Amino acid sequence: MTNALHVHDLCVTYDREVVLRDVHALLQPGDSVALIGPNGAGKSTFIKAILGLVPASSGFVEVLGTTPAKARPLVAYVPQIDHLDARFPISVQQVALMGRYRRIGWLRRPGRVDRAATLDALEQVGLADRANDSFGVLSGGQRQRVLIARAIAQDAKLLLLDEPFNGVDSVTQDVLIEVLGRLRAAGTAVVMATHDISVAHLACGHACLLNRHQVAFGRLDDALTADTLKATYGHHAVMLAEGTALLSTH
């Protein structure tokens, strides 16, 4: 069986500046890793490197046994919700349908199978009844769920999420965790950037701690310790971070 994700000694530079270095990671199908670190730690950069949108200046990233660029059709990406224009004239179903585009191909129109798969995906996130509504009238959490539905419709082998739990309601949080669990059971690997350690405990088996370099990578309980958190967030933030970590392990 091929690895879902294999990263070896990755280093990324923008201009003259090294923004991320020493990153190693290995994920099997069905594994799930939380990328944890402060703002500007390189979480989004790491996700972009997995997508092949920023080049590795040294080391390598292998996705589903091939290069990031070649693997893209099998990789689903869920952007941060506030990066999208809420006023864009588009319906909920149209957004979810985008997940099928690569499968449909250039110049062809979506068929009945695609529509059924899209509706099924919306059903899974509890929004099938909103299919014909404008994307913009939904709440932030509901929009996040539509994007998850898009990823489900894509039927990807690797799912990348950028801060999916940021500012969402508790219904959405429950739906997300349930859906992620189901996808993992079906063999999809998950990479999720988050700053919420309790969420990491609920949704992920692995953790990757970043602060412009990799502090730790491994099974959640091994990687996420008081020491690694201190190394990631620096002395000041440790008390808070430790507090959350202790809370969620109780």
Partner 1 sequence: MLGIIRFLTEPFAPAYMQRSLVISLLLAALSGVVGVVVQLRRLSFMTDALTHSVFPGIAIAFVAGESLFVGALIAGAVAATLLTFAARSTRIDQDAFMALVLASLFSIGVIVVSRHRSYSADLTTLLFGRVLAVDTADIITTAAVAVVALGVLVAIRKELLLRAFDETGAEAMGYSLLRIDLAVNLVVALVVVAAVRAVGTALVVALLITPAATARLLCSRLQSLMISAVAISALAAWLGLVISYDASVHHGIRLAAGATIVVVLTALFAVVAIAQALRTGMARRRTLAAVAT
Partner 2 sequence: MRHLLDLYDSGLLRRALLEAVLVGALCGAVGAHVVLRRLPFFTITVAHATFPGIVFASIIGLSELVGGLAFAALLVVVIYITTGDQNLDNNTAVGVALAGSFGLGVMLQSTQDGFSKDLTAILVGSVLTVDHRDVVITSVVGLVVLGALAGAHKELVFRAFDPEGAAAQGYPRLLDLALLLAVAATVVATIPAVGTILAVALLSVPAMTARLVTRRVSTAMLAGAAYGAASGVLGLTASAEWDFAAGASIVLASAMLFVATYGVVGASRWTTRRRAIQAVAAA
Beta strands in the chain (DSSP E): 5-14, 17-27, 32-36, 58-63, 75-78, 158-162, 189-194, 206-210, 214-219
* x/- map, 16-55, partner 2, by CB under 8 A: x-x--x----------------------------------
**91 contacts partner 2 (rule: CB under 8 A):** no
**57 contacts partner 2 (rule: CB under 8 A):** yes
**13 contacts partner 2 (rule: CB under 8 A):** yes
Q: Which is nearer to partner 1, 21 or 103 (CB)?
A: 103
Pairwise CA distance, residues 38 & 13, whole Å: 19
**Residue 166 binds which one of partner 1, partner 2, none, with CB within 5 to 8 A depending on kind?**
none
**Residue 11 binds which one of partner 1, partner 2, none, with CB within 5 to 8 A depending on kind?**
partner 2
Cα-Cα-Cα-Cα dihedral of 9, 15, 16, 22, to 10°?
-10
Helix spans in 62-217 (H) = 68-71, 92-97, 101-104, 112-124, 140-154, 170-185, 197-203
**139 contacts partner 2 (rule: CB under 8 A):** no
Q: Which is nearer to partner 2, 14 or 187 (CB)?
A: 14
**128 contacts partner 2 (rule: CB under 8 A):** no
DSSP 8-state assignment for residue 122: H
Pairwise CA distance, residues 231 & 219, whole Å: 17
**104 contacts partner 1 (rule: CB under 8 A):** yes
User: Do 42 and 20 contact (CB within 8 A), yes or no?
Assistant: yes
User: Do 19 and 12 contact (CB within 8 A), yes or no?
Assistant: yes
Cα-Cα-Cα-Cα dihedral of 121, 126, 130, 135, to 10°?
-70
Q: Identify residues 141-160 at the interface with partner 1 (CB under 8 A).
A: 150, 154, 160
Pairwise CA distance, residues 21 & 36, whole Å: 15
Q: Identify residues 108-127 at the interface with partner 1 (CB under 8 A).
A: 109-110
**Residue 16 binds which one of partner 2, partner 1, none, with CB within 5 to 8 A depending on kind?**
partner 2
Task: Considering only the C-alpha atoms of the chain, give the largest distance between any 2 of them, rounded to a whole number of Å.
Answer: 56
Among 26, 98, 177, 238, binds partner 1 (CB under 8 A): 98
Amino acid at 76: A
Question: Given the rule CB under 8 A, which residues bind partner 1?
Answer: 51, 53, 69, 72-73, 75-77, 79, 83-85, 87-91, 94-95, 97-98, 101-102, 104, 106-107, 109-110, 134, 136, 150, 154, 160
Question: Given the rule CB under 8 A, which residues bind partner 2?
Answer: 11, 13, 15-16, 18, 21, 57-58
